[in-house]
Each structure stands twice: as C-alpha cells, then as structure tokens.
Structure 1
Amino acid sequence: MLKKLFGKKNDQNTEEVLVSPLNGKILELSEVPDPVFSQKMMGDGLAIEPSEGKVVSPVEAEIVQLFPTKHAVGLKTDSGLEVLIHIGLETVSMEGEGFEGHVEVGDKVKQGDELITFDMDLVKEKAKSTITPVILTNGDDVVESQEVLNTGEATKGETELLKVNLK
C-alpha cells in the first residue's frame, strides 16, 4: 500500500524508448503547421513527414484507441505512458477514406508491429498535410524528462526517436 502512495512499483519500466512509427523526416512539433500540435496543446512529442503510408508501433503497448476514421491510434505502455499517432493534419474530414486499421482496441502490440496503412497520395490530395504528430498525451502526469535521440531521416520500427524517463 505504501508503494502505491509513495513510490514506483518495482516491476515497472522507468524508461521508454520510442522508435519511429513511419519512414520519413523527423520534425520538431514547432514545425507542424497546426497550432494544436505545434503549441503542444495535446502534449509533447515530435512529428514525422512520412515517405510511405505504413504506420508501426513505436513501443510495446496496448491499443487503447483506434479512431473510427482510422486516421489516429492511441497506445498505452505497461508503465503508463500514452502515445497518440495522428496521421496527417485535418485528416478526420476524410472520414476514413484511404485508411486501413490493422489492430483493434485491446490488442497488445510489440515495437514495429503494423498498426495502420494509408494512401499517401489521397492524404496529400484531400488533407492539409501528411505530417504525422507522435504525441505523449499524458506526459504532464507520467514523464519526468524526455530526450530526442535522432534528427533527419527515420526508418519505421528502427530509428530511436525519444527516450522518456518516467516519474
């Protein structure tokens, strides 16, 4: 009981390393042309300008949300970190056209497992941008510190993006 009040459980990770969920160029959130993301209203993180339409899991986690339009997915790690991957900007208006989900809420995924595929050309045509924010949505509650590990080009499932130290 005292551990619940005063400390971490011994079996929890205190560090999470997120790999890139997409192939593409790593961007700072400040470079995302949408104030909801660039001003970190939903949380801190980074973004990827994708070079192909395949999204994989950046961490070992449980799928806690898959939007009906398949343009975004929420994951939660065993240590409690929540990650949102939002494919493109203003893609919700596409109403799922061009997006295919490969997971369901409640699924357990490993780093690199395929989550969503999407039609890049269709997103370029119908949405504001293909830039895909990767957001730590509960960072204020669980993140003690985070460090960006790479810049430039990222390879999905391989390139380490963020190291997150948890409270």
Structure 2
Amino acid sequence: VDDNALKNLGAVGIIRLGGGNIQVVFGTYSDMIREEIVKLTRKEILQIPFYSPVQGHMVPLKEVPDPVFSAGIVGNGVAFIPDRGEVVSPVVGTVMIVYPSKHAIGIRTKEGLEVLLHVGIDTSRLEGKYFETFVKEGDEVVPGQMLIRFQIDKVKQHSKSLATPMVITNSDKVKSWSFAPFKAVKKGQASVFSVTLKEKENFVSPGGTHV
C-alpha cells in the first residue's frame, strides 16, 4: 500500500488492522467517495444470468464429442444432453441467425454477448429434417421462449451425439464465469451459469457469428 499516494488523494489517516486489512480515513468526504465508488462499480460490473435451454443434464463443454466445441474454439460455455426435443431461449436478446438446417440459433443479448445454441453434433448434415424453428432473424426473445422443436429419437439415431452446446462466441468480452453444479436441469431453469462482463465502455459487439 502506497501511503503517500493515499494521502495525496486526501486521506487523513491510514490504519493497519492486521490480516492484510487496512482502513483509510477520508473524514467528511467519505460518504461522497463511497457514492462515487458505488456508481463506478455498478457501471463496470455487469452480470448476465443464463437459463437452461433444455430439459436434461448439464455437462462441461470439454465432454462434447467434437473438438471444435470441446476445445473452446467456437467459444466458452456449457453443454446439455437433452431429454426432450425442445429448446428455449436462455437469455433476453435478439435472434441474430437461424441456420437453414434449423439445428442452431444465434442470439445477441442487449449487452452485446453473442450466444450460440447448437442442437446435437454433426446435425447440420440432416439439412433441417426432424427440426422445426419458431423464431426468425430479428425476433426479440426472452428466457423460456420456444426456439426449436426436434424429433429427439430421430436426431439421436442420425447424428453423432445429442450433446447441445450453449456457448458465448465473443467470450473475450467476459471477465469471469460462474457455473452451477453439472447435474439434471429443467427447461428454463434459472442461472445454470452466469458471466460478469468487462467494463461497459470497452464492450463493442462485432456483427455475426459462425459455426
């Protein structure tokens, strides 16, 4: 701790409390300083919760049987093994893209996070067979809103895996990640994971995402 720097900022006293804790006394200005700190904290720390897009089991992304996802090449996040053929929105946002094969949807949150939901592995080659979508590009969505229905038995039979990644493709905008236990989840279950964003002023979202 630089005592001289604190004094130059207006500190009238510095008390070392032990255990790595100190108290800095700013006198009558302390309430004003506290308010400014709270304002800065609220501006710079943005936490976004994610809801479960399916009913099934949440698993670490590294368990997805596809190196593009498991190695985090597309982005960081989690994956799910669905029990039912329904996918709902995990966030509040705008649909960026609905893939022609209907197996994947991209959503941009109001904070600029770009979220990719990808049903199954090697499902693009099904060319939309067994899938039905309920949104189009430009639609506003909220958590729990239906995005995709699919014939789960058919997709399981004709694809490599039912593993369904949910990743943030512009993960460089995320400051920290918090994951719930990897276990059974319900469709629309709140806060299966959350992220804390970097400073708002540095948050510029590029257009588009890809698989």
TM-score by length of 1: 0.91
The equivalent residue for 1:129 is: 161
Deviation at 1:165, TM superposition (A): 0.4
The structure whose Rg is larger is 2
Give the whole-Å Cα distance in 1 for the aligned partners of 2:126 and 2:49.
Answer: 32
Quick one: which of 77, 95, 105 aligns to 1:73? Answer: 105
Displacement, 1:61? 0.6
Give the match for residue 151 of structure 2: 119
- Listed one character per residue, the Cα deviations across residues 21-73 of structure 1 (whole Å, up to 9, x for unaligned) are 00011110111111001100001001000000000000011000100110000
Which of structures 1 and 2 has the larger relative contact order (alpha carbons within 8 angstroms, sep 6+)?
A: 1
Shift of 1:160: 2.0
- 1:85 corresponds, among 113, 117, 123, to 117
Q: Deviations over 1:56-98 (max 9, x none)?
A: 0000110001001100000010001111000000000000000
Percent of paired sites with the same residue: 41
Name whichever structure is richer in helix by fraction: 2
- Partner Cα distance (1:63, 1:55) in 2: 14
- 1:13 CA drift (Å): 7.9
- Greater mean alpha carbon deviation, residues 22-31 or residues 143-152: 143-152
Structure 2's unaligned 5+ residue stretches are: 1-39, 199-211
Aligned to 2:16: none
Aligned to 2:70: 38
With the length of structure 2 as denominator, give the TM-score of the two structures.
Answer: 0.72
Asked if 2 retains the 8 angstrom alpha-carbon contact of 1:150 and 1:159, the reply is no
Give the letter aligned to residue 30 of structure 1: K
Q: Which amino acid aligns with 2:171?
A: G
When the two chains are superposed, the root-mean-square deviation of aligned CA atoms in Å is 1.8
**2:132–2:148 contact (8 Å) kept in structure 1:** yes
Q: State the aligned residue count.
A: 159
Structure 1: distance between partners of 2:127 and 2:98: 13
The answer on whether the counterparts of 1:150 and 1:160 sit within 8 Å (CA) in structure 2 is no
The one-letter amino acid of 1:152's match is K
CA distance in structure 2 between the aligned counterparts of 1:80 and 1:31, rounded to whole angstroms:
27
Asked if structure 2 preserves the Cα contact closer than 8 Å seen for 1:13 and 1:79, the reply is no
Partner of 1:160: helix, strand, or coil?
coil
Q: After the TM superposition, which segments of 4 or more aligned residues of structure 1 sit over 2 Å from their partners?
A: none
What amino acid does structure 1 have at the position aligned with 2:91? V
